[in-house]
Amino acid sequence: MSKKEKSNNNIKETSKRIDKENKKKSKDTENNTSKDLIVKKGKKVNLGRGKWLRQTSLTVLLILIIIAVCIGINLLVEQKNFADFDVTEDKIYSLSDMSKSIASSVDKDVEIILINMSESVEDFAKKYNSINNKIKVEVVTDVTSRPDLTDEYGITADSSVVIVKCGDKDKTLTSYDLYTTDYTTYQTKDTTEEALTNAIINVTTDEKPIIYNLTGHNKYSTDYLYYFSNDLTEESYEYKDLDLLTTGEIPEDCSVLMMTTLAEDITEAERDAILKYIDKGGKIALFTDPNTTGKEMPNFQKILDEYGISISEGVMLEQDTDKMLYGTASAILVTVSPYTSVTSATNMNINACFMSPGRIDFADSSKLEELGVQVENLATTSENSFYRTDYSITSSSKTNSDEDSPNATVGALLKKKINDETNSEMIVFSNNIFITNLRIQLNSQYYSYALDFYNNEDLAINSIAYLTDRDNMITIRKDTETSAYTVTQSQNIIILSIIFAIPVMIIIVGIIVWQVRRRKK
């Protein structure tokens, strides 16, 4: 073997030896790295267990702190009697603006004593105290601790009553006074606020305004005014019927003389008594339907002449479907102005529904000035309304014999100057039905009372409040009972479209998109 060949063999052997050593070193390095990883993993697990324990302890501690804070906040709220948050749309768990105004105006010490009443009634009573600290609330669960109450009011251990006291005056309410039931719909209405506010007014007011309702010639019996008269009583008015043929004159304590649709004319004696009342600055609330029979009523007209007005014999009808109830042209949604002396205190728009109203016609401006009468329009029809006198026409659409009568006045406030010291006021509506409990059939299943439509009740009672100078009671009243579904024809179409048409369209679009994607695959 030559030297050159030996040299090459040596080089190869050396290379092999070096490769073996490098592989061995690499393997040892890998083994060491694996051991290090195993050790590190073990350490990591041990560290994780300790951290978890620390985190659990902190979590438990945080939970205990949160519970302690919640308990502390609840105790503070209960002690301070903070007002609850009411997120309901109609604020049925809050005091109305009227109750707040009345409560804040109380300047006498009033006690509300709750005996064995529910927690909800207690919470409601405490709302008055949160507004005015002169109204104190006491909760009694053990009547034996108050022998003075058992002796004075005959209360037993089973009694559940509310006693509202102010000085020598008191008013006792039972559980039956806090709820009422409509036995036609079997709906229960919570009247706790109305009862408590009315009781506070009763014990703090020296005199209640008296509303006299003129009787003897009326088209509607007093039964049709039952709900409205009851509303007035709940608003702390005294409501009395008045037969002028019996009394001969309007009583001195009359705050407002209420007149409704006449079936026949009043007598001359009644006319003169009313004219005398006007000259003394008397106030009148007139709710009258149009004289569709065409009967001559000169004595009644003499009363209207004092204010420069007349009530039409024809009726107003509507063409705008947005301004009629259920597509009925005679059930008109009238526009109530929010800027009048009667309505501005509500600070909001209200709607009313008049059934076959007449039209209020005014004397010319020079005659009104001569009479010393100022006019404020309370309610008007739409610009698409029309006037009809021919009742043989059955069509609800306007005919050639009908008269265009846009924005006709159907409600007005009339202020008459008698002399420098005396003024008389009349609020007149050319509709009587809207304040009655006449049943209006909505469809084959549902009906509603005329007074319950929209803000009919508010408009009527606020008118009385204005005439009796009780501006703090002009408001929009809460309704805690379920209301009937009453909408205009166009509103009904929109609602039905939302309920049925839109979901169907979404389903159809979804099917189309699914089919397109499926075919692409």
Residue 54: predicted pLDDT: 67
Same domain, 115 and 255: no
- The 10s digit of each residue's pLDDT in 322-334 is 899 888 999 999 9
Answer whether residue 475 is part of any domain.
yes
Answer whether residue 510 is part of any domain.
yes
More confident residue, 380 or 87: 380
Once rounded to an integer, what is the mean pLDDT over residues 383-390? 96
Same domain, 163 and 292: no
Same domain, 452 and 470: yes
Same domain, 494 and 482: no
Answer whether residue 253 is part of any domain.
yes
Q: 436: helix, coil or strand?
A: coil
Residues 6 or more apart in contact with residue 47 via CB below 8 angstroms: none
Neighbours of 123 (CB within 10 A): 13
Same domain, 148 and 268: no
Same domain, 352 and 245: yes
Alpha-carbon span 258 to 363, nearest angstrom: 23
Residue 183: predicted pLDDT: 42
Residue 8: predicted pLDDT: 55
Same domain, 219 and 101: no
Q: How confident is the model at residue 83 (pLDDT cuts 50, 70, 90)?
A: low
Q: Which long-range contacts (CB under 8 A, 24 or more apart) does 138-142 make?
A: 138/111, 138/112, 138/113, 138/114, 139/114, 140/113, 140/114, 140/115, 140/116, 141/116
Q: Which of 150, 181, 206 is the last residue of a domain?
A: 206
Once rounded to an integer, what is the mean pLDDT over residues 282-308? 96
Residue of 277, 308, 306, 279 whose CA lies nearest to 409:
308
Q: Which of 206, 235, 260 is the last residue of a domain?
A: 206
Answer whether residue 520 is part of any domain.
yes
Answer whether residue 457 is part of any domain.
yes
DSSP codes of every residue in 51-95: HHHHHHHHHHHHHHHHHHHHHHHHHHHHHHTPPPP--STT-TTS-
Distance in Å from the first CA to the final CA of the chain:
75
b/e map of 479-497 (b: 16 or more CB within 10 Å)? ebeeeeebebeeeeeeeee
Split into its structural domains, the chain has a count of 4
Neighbours of 65 (CB within 10 A): 10
| Residue 52 scores a pLDDT above 60 | no
Same domain, 359 and 446: yes
Question: Which of 67-71, 427-431, 473-477: highest mean pLDDT?
Answer: 427-431
Q: 171: helix, coil or strand?
A: strand
Residue entry with tokens 């058992």? 150
Residue 14: predicted pLDDT: 60
Residue 477: predicted pLDDT: 65
Answer whether residue 272 is part of any domain.
yes
Mean pLDDT lowest for which of 170-179, 317-326, 341-350, 427-436?
A: 341-350
Residue of 390, 224, 232 whose CA lies nearest to 315:
390
Answer whether residue 331 is part of any domain.
no
Alpha-carbon span 34 to 443, nearest angstrom: 85
With contact defined as beta carbons under 8 Å apart, do 377 and 412 qualify?
A: yes
Q: How confident is the model at residue 181 (pLDDT cuts 50, 70, 90)?
A: low
Residue 296: predicted pLDDT: 94
Same domain, 466 and 360: yes
Same domain, 450 and 361: yes
Q: 298: helix, coil or strand?
A: helix
Domain that holds residue 118: 88-206
- The 10s digit of each residue's pLDDT in 116-149 is 998 888 888 999 999 999 999 999 988 888 888 8
Neighbours of 156 (CB within 10 A): 9
Residue entry with tokens 């050319």? 430
Q: Where are the alpha helices (DSSP H) in 214-360?
A: 226-234, 244-247, 268-279, 298-305
Residue 373's φ and ψ, nearest 5 degrees, are -105, 130
Alpha-carbon span 110 to 102, nearest angstrom: 13
Angle, vertex CA 220, rays to CA 215 and CA 226, nearest 5: 85
- The 10s digit of each residue's pLDDT in 207-244 is 889 999 999 999 999 999 999 999 998 888 999 999 99
Same domain, 108 and 228: no
Once rounded to an integer, what is the mean pLDDT over residues 310-318? 96
Q: Which of 206, 229, 252 is the last residue of a domain?
A: 206
Same domain, 140 and 285: no
b/e map of 332-366 (b: 16 or more CB within 10 Å)? bbbbbbeebebbebbeeebbbbbbbbbbbebbeee
More confident residue, 496 or 148: 148
Answer whether residue 466 is part of any domain.
yes
Give me 473's structure tokens.
């009671």
